[in-house]
Chain A
């Protein structure tokens, strides 16, 4: 063991020529070299075979499974809707009971939102994004795989409950007290199952944001990115701010369900309105999280149809970013009838109207592109046209609903049901199907049938309008949503019957579509490589299929490289561009800079594995066992999940490479290891922690919400957390942070012994902080009133994060002793320090709220 001070090693910089000159690109690649390179590349990226196929982590495999699974869940949720429509077809029908009906509509909504719409976006992005960006794979393939397996387990668990008559039945937004008081496991299944899936969503968001920012083809500056990438960036950001409030809400909700901590119980100072706020701070942006990536598909298809570049690229970026932001200012329009002050309603009504502007801008940009181009009417465009028609209808009723006085009249009626289906079908289902038709040749290297596609379109389009257009009327004449039956003579019979017939026409359309997807296509002739004559990089794919993503990573100088650079395809195929080879047999992709996409690193990409399955199964156990109050197996499962994730990280992330730099092709030599803000891992931690901080902020919001809305928070004469112990806890956490950051600096300076010392002291002081925090809150009884309950919730949140922080510190300490963490290869400690920056801030806020602030209020 060497403990003496070593000089800090020099970190390699990119060396050689960049950007490549035309002369370099013109130089031919010798035929035999080209073949040998292609052979090695093919071997490195070969998908596992036989039963090992399921250990694949490549974005093409994960993306396919992900989208098929989400589509399957959608079909299941569709079947639930058909039963709903059967029940409502005639008055006083006895097909299903009231209880069963509640399960059906709760599950229909939850599954469509959480198991189809959001995961479908993630699935399509994982599948397509590397193609759009000219990258080999996503930056963290195993994270995508982990997210997928979590989604599959959680989805089967949640959706399966409907078969056991145990499904959630308080509506897809689970309002307390109905949902908190509900007996049976339904509400717990919803909460825990969906929290689990939300985690998969955040994992996908991390993956997609880092993918867009760091894995673009060299030269693809931010003004050249395909518009889809802009949308993904915006939506990824939205997920980070929208999902965490729901996770925080779930956390409080489950504490109430399991331990009777009265967050939403007015008798003990709680307030059901907090759930409504947290749910809709998530719920409204979520609508746009679904809509934006789907309309992004239209932004890819429209230029191809018009055979010209998109009109108003900057305007569409405005539209995506503007919609992303404004969508966070709308949530209260779901709560117009809760008795908030008129002024408050006014703010949200105004913002709801304002969001129309950016939403409309992109639609006009599409129309302008079509007007300016020479339209080649292809099948995907038919679906886009249908989408625009239906979405515009939904948008118009949205403008009506955003007006509070109108909403008072139709709140919770079928008018709202009609509106939301118009926006979601027009804004999501139709564009996604358009995308399936458009990208199918890229995904499956086959074509879907033009004739079946037209049949499916007209059936679904007609059926949709037959089902949902009458619902506007049904709602206006007073039929509330969620009633399991209705009396004769109210005038509701005919419109309901029409809606039910329409629903089956939609179903027939989906049958045609599914058949087109799954019918054998073996006898189809080989498709042309770019069947729609598109200009973006994904159509540089290989037909027949190769699993390397792209043969060599091109240098890009325009928005539509395939249109603007006629030599590009030949050069890609010849391996003239970057990373044409896999000499050591490793999977690799390029990491580039955020703004200008200058190459900075050759990133080793991970290979097939089973560890992600294990991690997902144990994580699933940690969420699913507590649903049935089986806490011990739940905790054991959680510990095993942590162990598998540590094993996974230890064995395959940030390992010191064999060589410090290597040849990337075209005379460029790039480093193979970076740490800190240059690395993808650091960005992933940053993004994850931003989401985590949002969840924490939501709990803090709860604290001030109670103080504002409840007269007795904290109740007079309430017992507070011990001041001295809180101060000690605070000191412990700050010391943990100081030691961690010091360890990073000492390690980089080559003072390994001192760094190890700091890394040994850090977990000790953090553990001291946890102990002090527990001592501080122990005398408070959380089941008696919402004040002690919230103090406890803050303490639990901080203690769990501190425990994660300890694991990270010990991980770095072990890394230092075992040669994974050295002064040169220090990515781990950079990432851990970043976690600690965020943690120490939240710990300070929590200590302030638990200690002095509570006494001041």
Chain B
């Protein structure tokens, strides 16, 4: 393929796949949700067990609620990313070309995968909430 074919008209591309300078941040939204969820779990259990501000069983119920919320957020991110990846229409699993369209789909693809691992991480983190009791 020649250089010419790689580079469609810049104006056309710009309209369709605007430069997305925020998309590197979007890449991190799902794992940031996971991180906040972990910190929330850890802090809440500490406040219940060390500071005894509220009973730990109440904390567990709140945190399970927070987990559902976190998973919903991550799922929403993943859904948006899946749209952006657009794999069902293009079938593109690899995005190796220097076109804005490839970059656009690649960022969707990567964000989707990262949302997936964040969801798995969040489920893992919340398993102790379901399986363990008390402050022991």
Contact = CB atoms under 8 A, between A and B. Distances in A.
B117 A358 contact: yes
B114 to A, nearest CB: 5
A92 to B, nearest CB: 41
Interface stretch (A317-325, A501-509, A639-647): A317-325
A325 B34 contact: yes
Interface string B85-108: 000000001111110101100110
A354 B98 contact: no
A537 to B, nearest CB: 13
Contacts of A20: 3
A350 B124 CA distance: 5
Contacts of B21: 593-595
B125 A317 contact: no
A652 interface: no
Contacts of A326: 31, 34, 117, 121
A342 B135 contact: yes
A344 interface: yes
A22 B3 contact: yes
Contacts of B47: 708
B45 A223 contact: no
Given A309-B96, A321-B114, A343-B135, A329 B125 contact: yes
A19 interface: yes
B8 to A, nearest CB: 10
Contacts of A223: 95-96, 102-103, 106-107
B117 A357 contact: yes
Interface string B34-57: 110010011001110111000010
Contacts of B120: 354, 357
Interface stretch (A64-72, A187-195, A384-392, A552-560): A552-560
Most buried by A among B19, B120, B125, B135: B125
A341 B35 contact: no
Residue from A222, A314, A321, A353 with most neighbouring chain B CB atoms (10 Å): A314
Contact of B125 (A18, A347, A594): A347
Interface string A13-25: 0000011111001
Contact of A22 (B4, B96, B125): B4
A473 interface: no
A248 to B, nearest CB: 17
Contact of A325 (B31, B41, B102): B31
A345 B45 CA distance: 11
A221 B20 contact: no
B136 A342 contact: yes
A709 interface: yes
A707 B51 CA distance: 8
A555 to B, nearest CB: 8
A512 interface: no
Contact of B50 (A351, A556, A708): A708
Nearest to B27: A321
A484 interface: no
B70 to A, nearest CB: 13
A343 B95 CA distance: 42
Contacts of A497: none
B19 A347 contact: no
Interface in A348-371: 348-351, 353-354, 357-358
Given A341-B135, A594-B21, A321 B110 contact: yes
- Choose among B3, B46, B60, B136 the residue with the greatest number of A CB atoms under 10 Å from its CB: B3
B113 A347 contact: no
A253 B6 CA distance: 57
Nearest to B60: A343
B83 interface: no
A709 B38 contact: no
Contact of B110 (A219, A314, A351, A708): A314
A595 B98 contact: no
A278 B95 CA distance: 40
B108 to A, nearest CB: 9
Contacts of A708: 46-47, 50-51
B96 A343 contact: no
Given A347-B42, A353-B124, A708-B50, A314 B19 contact: no
A112 to B, nearest CB: 28
Chain A interface size, under 10 / 10 to 19 / 20 to 34 / 35 or more: 35 or more
A307 to B, nearest CB: 16
Contacts of B97: 557-558
Given A325-B35, A358-B117, A344 B45 contact: yes
A353 to B, nearest CB: 6
Contacts of B32: 325
B86 to A, nearest CB: 13
Interface residues of B, number: 59
A343 B132 contact: yes
A328 interface: yes
A186 B107 CA distance: 49
A66 to B, nearest CB: 28
B73 interface: no
A350 B128 contact: yes
A270 to B, nearest CB: 16
A820 B6 CA distance: 43
Interface string A145-167: 00000000000000000000000
A244 B51 CA distance: 27
A716 to B, nearest CB: 16
Contacts of A357: 117, 120
A614 to B, nearest CB: 37
A341 B103 contact: no
A656 interface: no
Contacts of A344: 42, 45-46, 49
Contacts of A354: 117, 120-121, 124-125
A318 to B, nearest CB: 4
A224 interface: yes
A596 interface: yes
Contacts of A272: none
B3 A347 contact: no
A665 interface: no
A838 interface: no
Contacts of B93: 314
B12 to A, nearest CB: 13
A753 interface: no
A318 B114 contact: yes
Contacts of B100: 221, 596
Interface in B3-19: 3-4, 6-7, 10, 19
Contacts of A565: 3
Nearest to A355: B121
A313 B96 contact: yes
B113 A315 contact: yes
Q: Which of A309, A354, A358 has the most CB of B within 10 A?
A: A354
A350 B51 CA distance: 24
A26 to B, nearest CB: 10
A346 interface: yes
B106 A322 contact: no
Contacts of B136: 341-342
Nearest to A596: B19
A223 B111 CA distance: 12
A318 B2 contact: no
Nearest to A220: B98
Contacts of B31: 321-322, 325-326
Interface of B: 2-4, 6-7, 10, 19-21, 23-24, 27-28, 31-32, 34-35, 38, 41-42, 45-47, 49-51, 56, 60, 93-98, 100, 102-103, 106-107, 109-110, 113-114, 116-118, 120-121, 124-129, 131-132, 134-136
28 contacts: A221-B102, A223-B106, A309-B94, A317-B110, A318-B116, A321-B31, A322-B114, A322-B118, A325-B31, A328-B35, A341-B50, A342-B128, A342-B136, A343-B129, A343-B134, A343-B135, A344-B46, A346-B128, A346-B132, A350-B128, A351-B125, A354-B117, A354-B121, A357-B120, A558-B96, A595-B20, A595-B21, A596-B100
Given A322-B31, A351-B125, 5 more contacts: A221-B100, A350-B128, A593-B21, A708-B47, A708-B50
